[in-house]
Structures are given as C-alpha cells and as structure tokens.
Copies of this chain bind each other. A is one copy, B any other.
Amino acid sequence: MPEQPGQPERHPLHLREGDPYGPHNLPYGVFSTADEPDRRRIGVRYGNHVLDVHTAATALGSAHSDLLAHPHLGALLAAGRPVWRAVRADIRTWLGYPAIEPFLHPLADVTLHLPFAVADYVDFYASEHHATNVGRIFRPDGEPLTPNWKHLPIGYHGRAGTIVVSGTPVVRPSGQRRAPGEEVPSFGPSQRLDIEAEVGFVVGTPSALGERVPQSAFRDHVFGVCLVNDWSARDIQAWEYVPLGPFLGKSFATSVSAWITPLEALEAAFVAPPARDRELLPYLDDSELPPAALDIRITVTLNGHTVSEPPFSSMYWTAAQQLAHLTVNGASLRTGDLFASGTVSGPRPHERGSLLELTWSGRDPLELPDGKRTFLEDGDEVTMTAWAPGPGGAVVALGEVTGRIAPAAGQAVLRGR
C-alpha cells in the first residue's frame, strides 16, 4: 500500500478509534483507479480505503461473486434482502483476514462514479417545517400548507438522466424567469440558484405493476440510503411551476453521494416519527408499526462554513410511508428507483435545508467569513455530510455530497437554427 503524503503510516486494516467507516458501516460505491480509468468496479468503503469486493470475492471465495462483477450495483440491488445480508456478512468476515490487504485501495487514489443506473427519480416534500416556510414565503397571506399536505406525502417525478455523482460541477442553468413587476419573462442565467439538503432511498427489489408495497415491506425493497442535493433554480421554478409542478428549475442537475449506505447499517438509527396531527388512511397509518423515522444528522457547508444542520428525524412523513404512497395506485418499482425525502428542515432557523429558507428568500443574507450570501454565486462549493447512530455507540457516516457552481454556459443567442 503506498503511504499517503503527510499522513503517518497506518495499516489499512487498522482503523483509527471510532472511525465512522468501520465494519458497522460498509457503504457500497463504484470506483476506478488511475492505471485503469475505464475499469469501473464495485467498492466498499472501509476507513480511508476502498475494498475491491469482486476481486476479493474471487480470491477468497463467495457464493455471490457474480453479483459483484459488474461496473455498477444493479445486480446486487436486484438480488434482494437475503442476498444483501449474506454479501455484507461475507465482507465483514473478509475484513478479519490479513489476506484482504491487496484488495484495499487508498480512497485518495480512486475516482468514484455514479454507483447505479437511476431508473425513476421521485422527489417528496415531506418536511413540515420546510413546507411551512416555503408556504409563508410564497403565500404570506394564505395557509402555509395546502389542504392535502397532512393527508399524503406530496411527491413528483424528477429527471433521472441528470442525476450526477458527488463532485460533479454544476453549471448554473439558464432559463425563463419573470422579474417582480414585469409582465413578460426574460431569458438568462438563474439569479436564485439554491440547494436542497435531502436523504435519498435506493430501491433494490422491484415490484409488479398493479401491486402495492405496504410499509411493512419497506426493508424488503429498499437497499440503502444516500445524501441528495436537489439543486434548484428558484426564479425558473417560480415562473414555470403552475399548474404542473417543477420542471426546468430542477432538471439541470441533482447530486447524490458516491456511497450507498445499506439500511442494515442504520438499524440503531430508527426512531419514532413526529406525532401526526391527522388520522391517516390505513395504508399510511404507522401507529402500530416499528419506528420508521431515521435519526440522520445532516451538516451543510458553503465554502467550508457550516450554514445548516438539518435533523432528518424531524420529517413528518417517513420513507416507508412514501414508498407505500408511491405504489398505492399500482405503480411498479424498478431496481434503481431513487426517491428522495424533499428538503430536510428542522424547527429551528439553523436547521433549514435550503438557502430560500435560510435567507428568507434573500431578505436576510447569510454572513459568512468570506462575505454575505443570499443565493449561490459562481465558484461556491456546497458540501453535505451526515451521520447516524450505529451499534453500541458507534457513528455511521453517510457519504458526502458536494458540488461547485460553474458559470452559466455561453450566452450566445440561440435563434433555434
């Protein structure tokens, strides 16, 4: 193993005390190395190393080696929960063998890729605090929540083809936006480019068309969790979204973390959801089910400065409820479906998961060491990290999602020819 510059020599099989990427975590990703840049392989993160799991499985023997032989997680995701458990148990066993060392690559030496082909992408709107803030900002004289909000988890489909892995630059989108007081829209780069801190759920096991997936089957269908930054151009969104919802204000890019944390690593993080104000229809009622909220603590930084700490446990709707709602009309699930929570905002001001809320639509700029900020400027870098309680007091880190804003594409007039 080459030593990393500036770091003390450390055996890759020995983690530092309390490493949040220990054997209790083991998230999956896809990586390549500098000497074989086109060879994408499934990797599992272990401390500051990445285990090449197919090579390890081939060398050490595994009944599931074939599932790990792909340049993406698809076959593993489709294999179902018993196999997910078996493969995870295999990997934990291997990490006890010194013979595994040749299959560990320093994290700093690899390139990480989008780990699975996204089938359908659904984005929910499940934080009461977020929805209330947005309602107050956009409709100051009306009820902040729409009448349906507490009866169903509101969601919509997003663009799967523009989901990008953490680290991909995000080009500022251009589009139509109408300035306050103007009657007609103008065209240009978004001037209200925003973030949305979210948690995403990756579907493994598909379901048949016409079949409902009850909340109790959540763990059979959902493989794991990632962080999501649902970049949003608020000015484009505001002009386009009535009556059919967000479209170009969201579809230019959605960033996801490179690591998918298996639900099995989050056993200790399940907690009770907030009390519900309304009686729910039976398919959404979870009052007699095991706790299904997740105690994931997110930190959002802008150019290295913490701007928000959204608590995922405060979400009104759980992921299990979202899955039950998504399929209650008979819509089928495919391997690789991704559904995200919607912006995570807690009850306190410093827990808000978007700049729209943090700056109250630009009225209250953030005071950062390098200047004031309302919405994102070119060159700004946003990073979201998160952790959850693990077994026996351990910490489970979720893979970070980061992205830097690149200037809008050339402003050449496109006359459609």
Contacts and interface: CB of A to CB of B under 8 A. Distances in A.
B409 A152 contact: no
Contacts of A159: 120, 157, 331
A209 interface: yes
Nearest to A124: B244
B216 A416 contact: yes
Interface string A334-361: 1001000000000000000000000000
A102 interface: no
Contacts of A186: 281
A414 interface: yes
A214 B234 CA distance: 24
Contacts of A252: 329-331
A304 interface: no
Interface residues of A, number: 78
A94 interface: no
A281 B187 CA distance: 7
A274 interface: no
Contact of A417 (B178, B214, B330, B409): B214
B333 A187 contact: no
A62 interface: no
Contact of A414 (B253, B283, B331): B283
A199 interface: no
B416 A285 contact: yes
Nearest to A292: B416
A248 B325 contact: yes
B215 A417 contact: yes
A105 interface: no
B288 A171 contact: no
A256 to B, nearest CB: 14
23 contacts: A146-B243, A148-B239, A148-B240, A148-B242, A151-B176, A152-B185, A152-B239, A152-B240, A156-B157, A159-B331, A161-B332, A171-B209, A171-B330, A174-B329, A184-B278, A216-B416, A245-B246, A248-B326, A248-B331, A282-B414, A283-B416, A285-B415, A330-B409
